[in-house]
Amino acid sequence: MTAPTLSTVPDVRPAGTPLAGLWRSAQVVALTLSRGSSGPEPGDLARSVAAELGLDLAAVLAAEKATGRPGEVTRLPVAPGEGVPARVVLLGVGAGTPQDARRAGAALARAARGRDRVVTDLAAPAGPDGTAAAGPDHASVRAAVEGLLLGGWSPPARGLKDRSDSRPAAEILLDHDLPADAVERGRAHAAATLRARVLAATPSDVKTPAWMAEAARQVAEDAGLDVEIWDERRLAAEGFGGLLAVGGGSACTPRLVRLEHRPDGDRVRGTGSERPVVLVGKGITFDTGGLAIKPREAMLPMRTDMSGAGAVLSVLAACRAVGVRRRVVGLLPLAENAVGGASYRPGDVIRQYGGRTTEVVNTDAEGRVVLADAMAWAVEHLDPDVVVDVATLTGAASLGLGRRHAALYSPDDDLAAALGAAAAAAGEQAWRMPLVEDYRPAIDSPVADVRQAVTASGFGAGSITAALFLREFAGGRRWAHLDIAGPARSDREEHEVPKGPTGFGARLLLRWLEQL
């Protein structure tokens, strides 16, 4: 097998010379239009290009009712010809904030699909009146590059010829004065998100636990990570009862993958400041619901139920590129929750890794069971400084917060605040939810240490009680849980979010790790 590639992505980079001398060689030219206090304000390049093309820019803005809002694309009335691009547009950038820049970049990426060369002054230094500013805002440059790389992506076609007009633009040239480090940082974060999307988009007839484990091995070799893989025999020998139970009904046997990033020069295992940050990603490569089988409509998107594992793998792969200075371990518990003669049943009592027992109530609440094994292993063998798990865990989270916010749980205020700030900076929103102690009795069991899910007891709060279950396996360490069931998938394109798997969580976690 071969690891999934990121498919076609634009070559986004600063041009070697000023854009004023390059724009005529492009197929698409996107000229920025900010949203000033007295109306839309064209940037310097827009004024210059309009003058060369003989356009009355003020009249065009009035006729097209352009506002400069982020992501607004207004086509200028230009007939293509010798030395004139096929398409010249005004690109709304709002106030130029990072969010505005990311949305503008995504809009341009969609408008430029199928084109070979695009030139834009997006993120170029400019004040609100279009005059030159002291310098570009690094956060906005990063965000603009993320939008340009993410906005034009669509799931790769399999067995079909890709339409040329749906592929991302081949080359996007930016202002030559943009800081290279900010551009490269944006590229690395976008690449992590794209990798997570490609993994989630891979059909489950290909993406078995074994395939995912081998893909992780290849990614680890390319990224300089340590890697270790448990097959079903080793899982059984070492007592990973949760993974084995969830994967027992499938012909595709479960796996556990450990990936490890160590900063350059760091080869010390174990103690003190070298205690690792541990990321655990739910890796259900397909979820039928088990014996609690899902309705057909609910089962269709379940190839993306490993989005947490895809995000963690993508983050580990990017750690060296973005200069993460902490030891980071990623754990991917991988299983297929299928229906078979060996499927686990409601009423079963599972012995998780480390010996704690879990009463099964709902076989469709399998993600927390495999996460519990991996978290318990991390606590026993790694002595982690902090544990963060990320999972498409509960429909309850998306009912409460919709499809654009993850539910964030942590008993540690500082950790929750840091993850929330990283989410906002990355453009991936998370909302802190309460760990309600009054709901803890909902996971008490008369036959095991803990009950896997709530019964018809009147508690409700399915996302909160799932987080309370996971807390039981965090070993008292600093811990946070990200329930990404809502934002991991999207039914429509919106800004940098595609229709289909979104890769949510990769940029959030990378932003957080960069600042440790």
45/394 Cα distance (integer angstroms): 48
| H/E segment holding residue 182 | helix 180-201
255/187 Cα distance (integer angstroms): 31
Neighbours of 266 (CB within 10 A): 13
6/440 Cα distance (integer angstroms): 43
Q: Which two tokens stand for residue 32?
A: 């920025």
Label residue 65 exposed, middle or buried (CB < 10 Å: 0-12, 13-18, 19+): exposed
Residue with tokens 């001398």: 21
370 close to 335: Cβ distance less than 8 angstroms: yes
258 close to 217: Cβ distance less than 8 angstroms: no
Q: Tell me the β-bridge partners of 34.
A: 41, 94
CA dist list (Å): 488 to 156, 192, 235, 394, 414: 17, 14, 28, 12, 25
For the annotated catalytic residues, the residue numbers are 294, 368
400 close to 465: Cβ distance less than 8 angstroms: no
353: Cβ contacts below 8 Å, ≥ 6 apart: 238, 239, 240, 241, 242, 372, 373, 374, 376, 377, 380
